[in-house]
């Protein structure tokens, strides 16, 4: 558990360095698909920037977890809107029913970004099978099958530690 949490902290930090509006010079390399997640590594100007995990499978696309080299973690949802706009998101994990509420920022035309995720959120994420996302202002309610977050976590951990 400590190794995973450390890896997630390290991975999440990379996102802060690049920020969501990374310049076009960023290069993404797919590592593979593990536990229902497509894992990729991102380099910016030749330097390691972050590891990214995207959900896969029918009707499950669009959820992304980003782990930056500065320890910050984010999740990103698809969602068109006006750049700079914010929406409150309600995240409910299953089967626990644990609920988190926070503001999501529209930092690009087609994606909503979470604030930096706290350890309690990440821990619950890795213990869950499904996640329900509600954006009341947009009248959106969507569920994501989280596949095998333990396997995804191990691959992200490996992605992060391989570049230190």
- For residues 33 and 69, give the distance between their C-alpha atoms in angstroms, rounded to a whole number: 21
Q: Are 8 and 159 within 8 A, CB to CB?
A: no
Beta bridge partners of 24: none
Instruction: Give 97-142 pLDDT, tens digit per residue.
Output: 999 999 999 888 888 899 999 889 988 998 898 999 998 888 889 9
Dist CA 109 CA 116 (whole Å): 20
Asked if the model's pLDDT at residue 16 lies above 70, the reply is: no
- pLDDT at site 164: 66
DSSP assignment letter at 110: T
Looking at residues 36-42, what average pLDDT do you find? 91
Residue whose pair of structure tokens reads 């290069």 in the numeric block? 27
User: Cα–Cα distance between 74 and 118 in angstroms, integer?
Assistant: 9
Hey, is 93 helix, strand or coil?
strand
What is the average pLDDT value for the chain, to the nearest integer?
A: 81
CA–CA gap between residue 153 and residue 84 (Å, rounded):
30
| Higher per-residue pLDDT: 25 or 72 | 72
Q: Is the pLDDT of residue 96 over 90?
A: yes
Digit-coded pLDDT (tens) for 64-92? 999 998 888 998 988 777 777 788 999 99
Residue 120 to residue 127: CA distance in whole angstroms: 11
Please say if the pLDDT value at position 8 is more than 80: no
Task: Confirm if 112 and 100 have CB atoms less than 8 A apart.
Answer: no
CA distance 117 to 88: 15
More confident residue, 164 or 58: 58
* pLDDT score at 109: 84
């Amino acid at each position: 558990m400590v190794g995973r949490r450390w890896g997630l902290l390290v991975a999440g930090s990379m996102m802060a360095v690049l920020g969501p509006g990374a310049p076009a010079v960023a290069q993404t390399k797919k590592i593979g698909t593990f536990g229902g997640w497509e894992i990729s590594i991102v380099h910016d100007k030749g330097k390691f920037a972050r590891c990214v995990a995207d959900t896969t499978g029918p009707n499950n696309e669009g959820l992304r977890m980003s782990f930056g080299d500065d320890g910050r973690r984010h999740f990103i949802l698809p969602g068109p809107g006006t750049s700079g706009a914010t929406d409150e998101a309600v995240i409910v994990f299953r089967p626990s029913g644990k609920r988190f509420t926070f503001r999501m920022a529209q930092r690009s035309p087609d994606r909503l970004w979470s604030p930096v995720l706290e350890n309690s959120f990440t821990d619950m994420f890795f213990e869950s099978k499904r996640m329900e996302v509600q954006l009341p202002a947009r009248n959106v309610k969507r569920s994501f099958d989280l596949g095998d977050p333990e396997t995804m976590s191990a691959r992200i951990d490996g992605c992060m530690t391989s570049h230190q």
